[in-house]
Structure formats: C-alpha cells, structure tokens
Amino acid sequence: MGPNEHWDIIVVGGGHAGLEAAWAASGLGARVLMITLRADRIGAMSCNPAIGGLAKGQIVREIDALGGLMGRATDAAGIQFRILNTSRGAAVHGPRAQADKHAYARTTQELIATRDIHILEAQVSGLDVTGNRCTGVRIRQSADTDETLLRSSAVVVTTGTFMSGLMHTGADRTPGGRVGEQSAAHLSSNLKAARLRARPTQDRDAAAVDSRVDRLFQPCAAAWR
C-alpha cells in the first residue's frame, strides 16, 4: 500500500456508517480503503448495545433491504429481539434488537474481510481538494511521521463522535472519541478551511457507579432495614 496507489473509494471511519459505506461500495465492485484509528475497534458498540428502536428500526430495515451489513451482523450477534410501542398503532412500532456488542464487532470485521475492503490504521489529517473535487486524503500513521497523500476517486467521511471529540465526565473534559481512544484532532479544521460545515453532535451516556464504591449504598441499605 503505497502513496502512488489509487483507490476507488476511501472511507474515513470504521463505525456503523463507515461499515455500511465500505460494504455498499465494495458490493458495487469498487476497490475500497477504510482508514480507522484502530482496526480492532471496527464495528464497536460504544454504549447501549441496541440496534434499531423507535424511529430507528425502520432505518435498519431499509439498510437491510438494500443489502446492508447491519442486519446481518445483528442476526448473528442478537440476544433479544422486540417490537416497541405495540400498545399504539403500527405506524409507531419500533423493531429493536439488543446485541452482544463484542460478537457484533467481531461479526462486522469477519464480514468485511470477505470483500475487497482494505484496512489502514492511521489518522486522516485532511482532505486533498483540487478545484471543487476531493481527490484523496492526507494521513499520519503516528505523531512523529510525515503526512502521506492517498489518492482516490471519492472519499466518504464518517467520523461520528471522533472528530475533535470531547468527553465530559462531571466537570472534567477530556479529548477523545471514546473512553481510552484518541480523537481525530486535525480533520475538522481542514474541513472548515475547505468551507465545509462541520457541526458538533452529542452522544450522552448515563452516569455509571463503580460497584466497588459500596459506601454510597450503605445509608440506603440501613434505611431499608
């Protein structure tokens, strides 16, 4: 995999959207390169390991009808399948599956290994734009290496929560795309320089209590007695 190699499509990111983009492109015969910070985290389910739900289950079914990957992986890794909102009309029913998140990630990685999808661990530092056309990406494989230009006919950017990601834990703010993983720090500034809008998104997880901190529960236990 050299700098002079040309790809049909480069997909930036290995989450749900990146997987579907790479899967769809390879299904059309394209030669695909997926660039992600960590190959072992492709398909990772960060928090609630659910696929579908209210207003989302229909989208999953549409992806599945179009030959997507999400439904296949959920069939293999699902541990509970339900229809939500059954007390109301069919228009607002929500199909939802709970999945074994480790099995889901493993299944997605096994599925893309059956296609002409190549994986590269690197951080995309910017898009290469000629005129009004994106012709590739610039990457760094480590902090102390120079940028490398990779050429392609098209680029799909699916950065999710990683682009300039900031994690809030109480009053603490920590850069990162996921706990224990770095954020994509340079791409958002490059997109702004190219006059592309990059709006922030939020993904909230409920606070978790460490089970080893049992002193929090002692007053409650005394009251119940």
Q: For 101-140, what is each residue's pLDDT tens digit?
A: 999 999 999 999 999 999 999 989 889 988 888 899 999 8
Query: Rounded to an integer, what distance in angstroms lies between the CA atom of residue 72 and that of residue 165?
Result: 29
Residue 91's pLDDT band, with cuts at 50, 70 and 90, is: confident
Would 60 be classed as within a structural domain? no
Would 30 be classed as within a structural domain? yes
Would 129 be classed as within a structural domain? yes
**Token pair recorded at residue 15:** 């989450």
Average model confidence (pLDDT) across the chain: 84
The answer to which of 15-19, 66-70, 89-93, 148-152 has the lowest mean pLDDT is 89-93
Q: What is the pLDDT, as a whole number, of residue 224?
A: 40
Which amino acid is present at 190?
N
Q: What is the pLDDT, as a whole number, of residue 221?
A: 41
At CA 196, angle to CA 191 and CA 199, rounded to 5?
85
Would 40 be classed as within a structural domain? yes
Residue 36's pLDDT band, with cuts at 50, 70 and 90, is: very high
Assess whether pLDDT exceeds 70 at residue 212: no
**Token pair recorded at residue 193:** 């320089």
Assess whether pLDDT exceeds 90 at residue 86: yes
Instruction: Show the domain range for 182.
Output: 6-49+100-193
Would 188 be classed as within a structural domain? yes
Total domain count for the chain?
Answer: 1
Mean pLDDT of 15-29: 96
Q: What is the pLDDT, as a whole number, of residue 182?
A: 74
Assess whether pLDDT exceeds 70 at residue 155: yes
Residue 83's pLDDT band, with cuts at 50, 70 and 90, is: very high
CATH of the domain at 16: 3.50.50.60
Would 162 be classed as within a structural domain? yes
> 143 or 41, which is more confident?
41
Q: What is the pLDDT, as a whole number, of residue 196?
A: 72
Assess whether pLDDT exceeds 70 at residue 220: no
Would 115 be classed as within a structural domain? yes
Would 174 be classed as within a structural domain? yes
Q: What is the pLDDT, as a whole number, of residue 1?
A: 60
Non-local (6+) Cβ contacts of 168 within 8 A are: none
Per-residue pLDDT reduced to its tens digit, 39-75: 999 999 877 789 999 889 999 999 999 999 999 999 9
Per-residue pLDDT reduced to its tens digit, 159-191: 777 777 777 777 888 777 777 777 777 787 777
